[in-house]
């Protein structure tokens, strides 16, 4: 398997227009103008409020520009510029991997050291996997643990408690046999950095990446973002772009900071891009040894079709791999390294075309604005490979089709509703507290004549009867949409469990607050 990776790697290896520049003599002015016009049209077509694009080639910034506004509906509209802060989201992961690489360079750890050597209390569901887990495994999504984002997006618990609850999660595939994207393992990687270096991840990344690269506006955690020049998150709902008032949700990502909490701007991220293209060097400084830098981009594991991006339907890659914090694929006979970032209302992408010494970074303030892929590929074509293709138009059609299929699936689900049913019991019987060692605490109350639910005081909303003992939850946080919530009734005719998004919570007290555990 390792030989196959190596063969693949070696084979493929052969304004608001505030700041717009074409500094390299290798980039023709008409290419810059053409690319700028293309991005402007894409921003309109995808209805993106605000966006920045940064392109680096041959060690120089050749394009850097802000488009649109930080927030819709404000007067006067505040334009996006190259100093506007956006969420890096999961493009943070490459930085966390680089931080570990620095400790490898210093001889303080090895990629294949056991995780428990640095985190003695770390434990997964399977003791054998816990014993065999290596530092490298924390970065490549192969541990057997499925999506566990509910541990940070659905509750407010400290990062140590998030890691503690991993031992309760059953694996969904065997260790190192497949690939499922994982945020929590990057949190563990950050804890390894803290254990080895003696300083928290957010301090280490500031001292070892932000400061050497002169990234003066960049912040490691959302709670540190106090500058007014920051983009606000948005989401398109019923063909209308709306502001997402999700400061709580944005702040929750700090609990898994190494996976995606950094905020940066175009001016700052250009330096990071140059460093990652130039063997870990920048302005006379060397952040990583050449061999360690190369290890970051060495294919580590295959990515399954189901875990890759829908763009593969059109780019048709021959292979798809994951390095240390980077997705990889072939594109027009060349290897590309890239990674997206997504938080509610915010998107990013960092892409590299290494053999052309070309990189592009896109940040936007619209939820899952997939023009990011289009702009990245168009930049590769325009500034590196020639023969530009209209990826924006093609991806707009692709993702439009995906949206239509999702809407059709929703209508089909609605058609399964059994009409003219009613709950088994009076609504007061469903009121109470439900708990789970893994999923936390849920409170069900009655507001006026409707059930109301609060999951860990993070996600809340009303429960309208759907059929039998299933209710439709309409979130107060409109960007979360709706979800089914079901209750089960025990043999004594009492409500005993609440089921929601795969979570099963046991009822522990009733409407009066009286304990019902073990006393039914």
Contact yes or no for 79/293 (Cβ under 8 A)? no
What pLDDT sits at residue 269? 98
What pLDDT sits at residue 484? 97
Statement to judge: residues 336 and 446 lie in one domain: no
pLDDT tens digits for 478-499? 999 999 999 999 999 999 999 9
pLDDT tens digits for 82-134? 999 999 999 999 999 999 999 999 999 999 999 999 999 999 999 999 999 99
Instruction: Give how many domains the chain has, as a whole number.
Output: 2
Average predicted confidence (pLDDT) for the chain: 93
Contact yes or no for 395/69 (Cβ under 8 A)? no
Question: Which residue, of 405, 436, 456, is where some domain finishes?
Answer: 405
Contact yes or no for 414/424 (Cβ under 8 A)? no
* Residue 502 structural domain: 427-509
Domain contains 258: yes
| Matching residue, tokens 């750890």 | 109
Contact yes or no for 431/445 (Cβ under 8 A)? yes
List of residues 6+ apart from 434 with CB closer than 8 A: 441, 442, 443, 444, 497, 498, 505, 506, 507, 508
List of residues 6+ apart from 48 with CB closer than 8 A: 42, 67, 68, 364, 365, 366, 369, 371
Give the C-alpha separation, 200 to 258, whole Å.
Answer: 10
Statement to judge: residues 460 and 324 lie in one domain: no
Domain contains 134: yes
Statement to judge: residues 378 and 455 lie in one domain: no
Statement to judge: residues 139 and 272 lie in one domain: yes
Give the C-alpha separation, 62 to 481, whole Å.
Answer: 41
One-character DSSP codes across 387-450: S---HHHHHHHHHHHHHHHHHHHHHHHHHT--TT---SS-GGGG-EEEEETTTEEEEEEEETTE
Query: Which CATH number is 464's domain given?
Result: 2.40.128.600
Contact yes or no for 433/390 (Cβ under 8 A)? no
Spell out the alpha helix ranges (H) of 165-265.
184-197, 201-205, 247-252, 257-260
Statement to judge: residues 348 and 455 lie in one domain: no
Q: Three-state SS for 9?
A: helix
pLDDT tens digits for 195-249? 999 999 999 999 999 999 999 999 999 999 999 999 999 999 988 999 998 665 6
Q: Three-state SS for 475?
A: strand
Q: Report the candidate in 306, 372, 293, 383 with the shortest Cα–Cα distance to residue 339.
A: 372
Q: Which two tokens stand for residue 423?
A: 């709950």
What pLDDT sits at residue 236? 94
| 11 or 507: which leads in pLDDT | 507
Statement to judge: residues 400 and 444 lie in one domain: no
Query: Which CATH number is 186's domain given?
Result: 3.40.710.10
Domain contains 413: no
What are the backbone angles phi and psi of residue 374, rounded to the nearest 5°?
-65, -45
Domain contains 273: yes
Q: What is the mean pLDDT of residues 407-426?
A: 95
pLDDT at 11 over 90: no
Domain contains 79: yes
Domain contains 192: yes
pTM reported for the whole predicted model? 0.93
Statement to judge: residues 346 and 399 lie in one domain: yes
| ω into 145 cis (within 30 of 0) | no
Statement to judge: residues 378 and 440 lie in one domain: no
Domain contains 519: no
Statement to judge: residues 66 and 116 lie in one domain: yes
Statement to judge: residues 106 and 148 lie in one domain: yes
pLDDT tens digits for 366-388? 999 999 999 999 999 999 999 89
pLDDT tens digits for 283-320? 999 999 999 999 999 999 999 999 999 999 999 999 99
Statement to judge: residues 11 and 156 lie in one domain: yes
List of residues 6+ apart from 190 with CB closer than 8 A: 96, 201, 257, 258, 259
Domain contains 416: no
Statement to judge: residues 86 and 182 lie in one domain: yes
């Amino acid at each position: 398997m390792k030989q196959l990776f190596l063969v693949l790697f070696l084979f493929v290896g052969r304004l608001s227009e505030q700041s717009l520049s074409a500094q390299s003599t290798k980039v023709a002015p008409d290419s810059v103008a053409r690319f700028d016009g293309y991005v402007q049209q894409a921003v309109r077509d995808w209805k993106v409020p605000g966006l920045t694009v940064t392109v680096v080639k041959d060690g120089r910034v050749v394009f850097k520009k802000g488009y649109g506004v930080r927030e819709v509906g404000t007067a006067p509209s505040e334009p996006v510029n190259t100093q506007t802060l956006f969420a890096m989201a999961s493009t943070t992961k490459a930085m966390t991997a680089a931080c570990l690489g620095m400790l490898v360079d210093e001889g303080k750890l090895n990629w294949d050291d056991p995780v428990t050597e640095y985190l003695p209390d770390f434990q997964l569901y399977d003791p054998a996997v816990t014993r065999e887990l290596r530092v490298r495994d924390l970065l490549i999504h192969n541990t057997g643990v499925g999506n566990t984002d509910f541990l940070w997006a659905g509750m407010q618990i400290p990062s140590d408690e998030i890691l503690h609850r991993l031992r309760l999660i059953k694996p969904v595939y065997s260790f190192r046999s497949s690939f499922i994207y994982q945020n929590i393992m990057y949190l563990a990687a950050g804890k390894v950095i803290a254990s080895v270096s003696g300083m928290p991840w957010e301090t280490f990344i500031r001292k070892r990446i932000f400061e050497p690269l002169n990234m003066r506006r960049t912040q490691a955690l959302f709670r540190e973002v106090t500058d007014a020049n920051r983009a606000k998150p948005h989401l398109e709902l019923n063909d209308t772009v709306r502001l997402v008032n999700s400061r709580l949700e944005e702040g929750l990502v700090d609990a898994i900071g190494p996976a995606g909490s950094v905020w940066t701007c175009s001016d700052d991220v250009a330096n990071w891009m140059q460093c990652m293209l130039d063997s870990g060097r920048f302005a006379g400084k060397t952040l990583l040894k050449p061999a360690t830098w190369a290890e970051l981009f060495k294919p580590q594991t295959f990515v399954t079709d189901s875990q890759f991006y829908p763009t593969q339907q059109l780019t048709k890659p021959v292979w798809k791999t994951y390095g240390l914090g980077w997705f990889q694929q072939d594109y027009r006979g060349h290897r590309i390294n890239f990674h997206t970032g997504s938080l509610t209302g915010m998107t990013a992408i960092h892409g590299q075309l290494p053999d052309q010494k070309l990189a592009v970074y896109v940040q936007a303030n619209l939820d899952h604005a997939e023009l990011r892929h289009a702009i990245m590929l168009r930049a590769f074509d325009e500034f590196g490979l020639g023969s530009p293709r209209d990826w924006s138009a093609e991806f707009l059609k692709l993702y439009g089709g995906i949206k239509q299929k999702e809407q059709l699936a929703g209508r089909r689900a609605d058609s399964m509703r059994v009409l003219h049913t009613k709950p088994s019991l009076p609504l007061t019987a469903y009121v109470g507290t439900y708990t789970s060692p893994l999923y936390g605490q849920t409170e069900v109350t009655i507001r006026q004549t409707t059930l109301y639910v609060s999951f860990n005081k993070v996600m809340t909303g009303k429960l309208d009867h759907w059929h039998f003992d299933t209710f439709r939850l309409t979130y107060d946080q409109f960007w979360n949409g709706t979800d089914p919530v079901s209750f089960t009734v025990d043999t004594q005719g009492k409500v005993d469990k609440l089921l929601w998004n795969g979570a099963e919570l046991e009822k522990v007290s009733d409407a009066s607050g009286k304990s019902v555990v073990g006393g039914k």
